[in-house]
Amino acid sequence: MNKRPIVLAIVFMLTAKVFAAAPQLNGRAIMERNEDARRLSDVISNARLTSGGEGTQKRVKDFTWWRKLQEGTSLFNTLTRFKKPAEIKDEGILFLEREGNKNEILMYLPSFKKTRRVESQQQSSAFMGSQLSYSDMATPHAADYQHQLLRTESCGEGEENRGVTCYVVESIPVSDEVRERTGYSAVTAWIRSDNFMMVRSDYKNLKGELFKRMEATDIRVVDSANKKWMAHTLSVKNLKTGHFTSLSFEKVKANQGIQNSIFTIQNLERP
């Protein structure tokens, strides 16, 4: 009997299974799929930002969040209105993404009844006293980076991620401008191979040191018609100082048909 075909068949079956488990994709493609999975046309949500860690007080901020995709682009407008604590009640931050990354960030201070502009230099600095920066709050764009698939591995042992394979992609900013704006020299992301949502990111600062880690949990579908997902909890930890920030969303409503007028200075100044 000729054994060769059986061997071939077995080999074929085995390899087919491997291939079936993870479709062949490169880094860029993966990240583009990720961006797509997050691209909600609009969303309103309540949110809670908790910051703490050794040597700092635990601070909790509650706010409402509006976000809308600008017509025909992948750029978002975001309005954040704070509700608690009392010191920051009615403060608002309007984030208008612009092409070429000339984002406009405006802050409304109710004590002065004035709107202030945040300079672009500041965008890599901490947002709201958290471990997130302004540019983190902006939706990262795949086009800003060069991506490379490093490997695939298990997404983790947590309940949510058990049994799921993750792509591990390393992203490096394409230009100095992106580096400056984001404050990162490299980002390594774990992307779920099933829904292309990020479950974990490791960030390296401009010195090349690994300093920040973000974990996304409670990832749910928020727009089933368009297959859009959102992580309901983001946890960020500063690996150097041990400080952490946790951002959790609830009552997330997508596709509400938010008006463009929400994202104007006039509206910003009317809490």
Partner 1 sequence: MRAVSNLFRFVGLRHILKKPARSLLTTLGVSFGIALFIAIRIINQSTLDSLRENIEAVAGKTSLSISSGDAGFPENKIEVIEKTPGVEHAVPMVFSRAFLVDAKLNNETLVILGVDLLKESSVRTYKTSDQQVIDDPLVFLNQPDSIILTHEFANQHKLGMDSRFSLATTEGKKTFTVRGLLSPEGPARAYGGAVALMDIDGARMTFGKEGKVDRVDVVVQKDLDLDEMIHRLESALGPGYQVERPQSQSAAMHRMVKSYQMMMSFFSTLALLVGLFLITNSVSISVMERKREIGSLRAIGAVRSGILAVFLAEAVAMGIVGGLLGAAMGRVLASFLVKGMSQSMSSQYLTRIEVSHLNFGIQDILLAIVLGGGAAFFAAAWPAYKSTRIEPLEAMKNRDVGVDVAKKGFLRFSGSVGLVMVLAVSVSATLGMNQKHRVIEFLGQLLAILGSALLGPSLVMGLVRMIRPLALPLGGAVSRLAQDNLIRNPRRTASNVTSLMVGLILVIVVAAVNTSFRTTIDLWFGRVLHSDLIISSSGQLIAFQTQPLHESLAEEIVKVPGIQTKTEGAHVYGVYGVRFGHTPYEGKQLAIKAYDEPDPSYKYWILDVRDRDRVEAGGELFHSQEPVVMVSRNFVDHYDKKTGDSIELDSPTGRHAFRIVGVMEDFASDVGVLYLNRRQYREIWKDPLVNSFGVQLASGYTQEQVRANIDQRLGRTRNLVVTSNSELRKEMNDLVDRSFRNTRAIQAAALLVGLLGLLNTMLISVMERMREIGMLRAIGMSRRQISAMIIQETLFQGALGAATAVLLGSWLSYIWITYSLSNILGWIIDFYFPWGSIFSTVLIGILVALVASFFPARRAAGLEIAEALEYE
CA atoms within 13 A on the CB side of 46: 5
Q: Among the candidate windows 19-27, 51-59, 175-183, 219-227, which touches partner 1 by CB under 8 A?
A: 51-59
CB of 50 to partner 1, least distance (A): 13
Of 20-28, 114-122, 141-149, 172-180, which part binds partner 1 (CB under 8 A)?
Answer: 114-122
- Give dist(CA 176, CA 30) in Å, integer: 23
- Which tokens go with 190? 């774990």
Among 29, 107, 164, 252, binds partner 1 (CB under 8 A): 107
H/E run at residue 59: strand 59-69
Number of residues that bind partner 1 (CB under 8 A): 27
The residue to which tokens 């949502």 are assigned: 197
C-beta of 248: minimal distance to partner 1 in Å? 18
Mapping DSSP to helix (H, G, I), strand (E, B) and coil, where does residue 139 land?
Answer: coil
Binding window for partner 1 (CB under 8 A); candidates: 55-63, 69-77, 159-167, 181-189: 55-63
Q: What DSSP state is assigned to residue 227?
A: T
> CA 118, CA 104: separation in Å to the nearest integer?
8
- Other Cβ atoms less than 10 A from the Cβ of 13: the count is 9
User: Would you give the binding string for partner 1 spanning residues 117-146, x where CB under 8 A is met?
Assistant: xxx-xx--xx-xx-----------------
Binding site for partner 1 (CB under 8 A): 51, 56-57, 59, 61, 82, 87-88, 91, 107, 109-112, 114, 116-119, 121-122, 125-126, 128-129, 240-241
